Amino acid sequence: MTGGEHTRATHPPAAPVPEQVPLGLPVYRTAAWAFETAQEYADLLNGDRAGYSYSRNDNPTCVAFAEAVAAMEGANVPTPVTAQPFASGMAAIAAVFMTFTRAGGHVVAPREIYGGTYGLLTSVLDRFGVTATFADSTDPAGLRAAIRPETTLLWGETLANPTMTVADLPGLAAVAREAGIPFAVDSTFASPAVCRPLEHGVDVVVHSATKYIGGHSDVTGGVAVGSPELMDRVRHVRIDLGGVLSPDDAFLLHRGLATLPLRMDRHCRTALAVATALAEHPKVVRVDHPGLPGHRDHDLVVKLFDEGRYGAVVTVTPEGDRAAGLALCDALQLVRRATSLGGTHSKVSHVASTTHRQLGDAALAAAGIGPAAVRISVGLEDAEDLVADLVQALDQL
Ligand SMILES: Cc1ncc(COP(=O)(O)O)c(C=O)c1O
């Protein structure tokens, strides 16, 4: 490029486009792409040619991340599976609701739904004329009865927080099919290295990639996965809502995926060891983890989840009231008091005062949650160190 100093500075030589495939994922940190001709530009916007124009629409690094998740979720699905990337789990969930609902429409969702999704349905989408019924997801007959002529979506969660209730995915998918509506699930607590809901008849899977997929508590992201037809509809809503993932965050999430099966295997096996040890402690009245043979959904989790990977959250309820739960958290020396889940560190939350703080004791009891319940997101530490820390904290109660 010739010309003046400022022209040369703004139009440097283009970066080489290597023929070889890079092993690491290139980060396409650009908002826009340039075209050889004005016609190419117009053709791309009209959908008459493939390519990239603007990163809110599509960005190769973000596409690579989403397709890596699709490859894991769709591993054993005979039909094509694709995915859409988002800036957070909530951005993915919002786009899925906005795609599959309309004013005057109705959603059936589980009673133990994640608080952010509950808030979206009851204090945002309700203002746009979408109503929701929260039903007992363990009772297919009750769910079927909650579906109305105007219901446009059945929503589920593969593993519910904090009771670790396991969704009967094939049973719920049959209910949705019978009603002629799509069935979407939030599979954040499982991840595709534990359970792949598309294999069980689910139409759309969403994740907060902030959790296990990223895996290191250093990035927020989300993803929606399903057939190309459904994902094309979700993509249009994503572009118009604008909650798009940044290429730098897509890089971190893509890197996280490489170790997801390794991490999930360890997270889950350690969680079962922790759950088994805590169930024997005299101060413990209840432990919720579906890997325990006594958990209500143990047979279901063995049927639907990969062997030995039954989730990495353990909810422990000590004797006593809310103060006992707070005291248990405060007595921990290794396990951190922090929000979120799925990172390398083990973390605890006192359920009644954090994730479920909107619920009074009666509502907590109806949801099967004791006032002292503490949710443990089991990290990658040594199981014996975690058990020793939890046991010394319980001994102090
Ligand atoms: C089950 C579940 N779904 C969705 C979300 C929302 O994800 P994000 O915080 O990435 O928006 C969370 C966050 O805690 C979650 O636990």
Ligand 1 contact via 220 beta carbon (within 6 Å): yes
List per-residue pLDDT tens for the chain, 397 residues long. Answer: 689 999 999 999 989 999 999 999 999 999 999 999 999 999 999 999 999 999 999 999 999 999 999 999 999 999 999 999 999 999 999 999 999 999 999 999 998 889 899 999 999 999 999 999 999 888 888 889 999 999 999 999 999 999 999 999 999 999 999 999 999 999 999 999 999 999 999 999 999 999 999 999 999 999 999 999 999 999 999 999 999 999 999 999 999 999 999 999 999 999 999 999 999 999 999 999 999 999 999 999 999 999 999 999 999 999 999 999 999 999 999 999 999 999 999 999 999 999 888 777 887 888 789 999 999 999 999 999 999 999 999 999 9
pTM over 0.85: yes
Give the helix/strand (H/E) hosting 189.
Answer: none
Note the maximum CA span of the chain: 80
Domain 38-258 identical in fold to domain 261-395:
no
C-alpha of residue 282 to centroid of ligand 1, in Å = 33
CATH number given to 38-258: 3.40.640.10
Give the helix/strand (H/E) hosting 50.
Answer: none
Q: Is 205 helix (H, G, I), strand (E, B) or coil?
A: strand
C-alpha of residue 92 to centroid of ligand 1, in Å = 10
Amino acid at position 191, single letter: S
Q: Domain residue spans in the chain? A: 38-258, 261-395
Amino acid at position 105, single letter: G
Question: Rounded to an integer, what distance in angstroms lies between the CA atom of residue 220 and that of residue 379?
Answer: 18
Active site residues: 56, 114, 186, 211
- Inter-residue contact 130 to 136 (CB < 8 Å): no
Ligand 1 contact via 152 beta carbon (within 6 Å): no
- Please name the residue whose Cα sits nearest to atom 8 of ligand 1: 89
pLDDT attached to residue 331: 98
C-alpha of residue 160 to centroid of ligand 1, in Å = 12
Ligand 1, residue 188: give the atom nearest the CA.
Answer: 1
- DSSP structural state of residue 351: G
Partners of 349 in beta bridges: 375
CATH number given to 261-395: 3.90.1150.10
* Cis ω for the linkage preceding 282 (within 30 of 0): no
Which stretches does DSSP call E strand in 214-319? Answer: 222-226, 284-288, 313-318
